[in-house]
Amino acid sequence: MGWPLERLRRVRFVRRFSRTERTLHWVNAAGFLLLLASGLILYLPRLSVLVGRRPLIKDVHLWGGIGWIGALAIVVLLGDRRGILRTARELEVLEPSRFNVGQKVNALLNAAFALLFLVSGLLLWFGERDTRFRFTSTVLLHDILMYAALTLLVGHLYLAVIHPATRHSLRGMTRGTVREDWAKRHYPRWAPPPAD
């Protein structure tokens, strides 16, 4: 059941995320999901046996990780760099803005996890070829990162897709805009620009 037609005409939308921010989000999500799927196949023996072709899955995981980081870098380099810098500055301070504290912590943890996944993944790959790169805790670090990132993903999906008070925010990541009344209620100190 939808809203009455007269109310739909009065709904105003405001810009929350730029095209570059949305592209960065979805490239990050797609890369992470590819790595999660291929990593779980490598990590879980039953899944590994079911899928088979372990060398191929390892290659998909390795090159998927490199492609993930490379694609994020391309979006930043070719997109609105000034906008990305503004967003980064907004995320690094705990003052109220268009992001709440949970969103800021999630974004900062995701950035840290991406870097740690890259370093530990490359060490694992190089360690298979040269024993000088084998460190006892590398596998443990990579596994702990996977569990932590999976926990963040489940929480993020719950808030974005299921939780009634926050699921409207998904529109911001798909269309770039959110309802003005929703933005004022959830982010009262943020002065959003009107939608185009």
User: Could you give the domains of the chain?
Assistant: 15-184 (1.20.950.20)
> pTM to 2 decimals?
0.85
Residue 163 in tokens: 């939780």
Residue 108 DSSP SS3: helix
Q: What is the pLDDT of residues 140-179, one digit of tens each?
A: 999 999 999 999 999 999 999 999 999 999 999 999 999 9
Smallest CA-to-CA distance from 145 within 123, 160, 129, 127 is with 123
Could you tell me if 2 and 168 are in contact, meaning their C-beta atoms sit under 8 angstroms apart? no
> CA–CA separation, 172 vs 99, rounded Å?
12
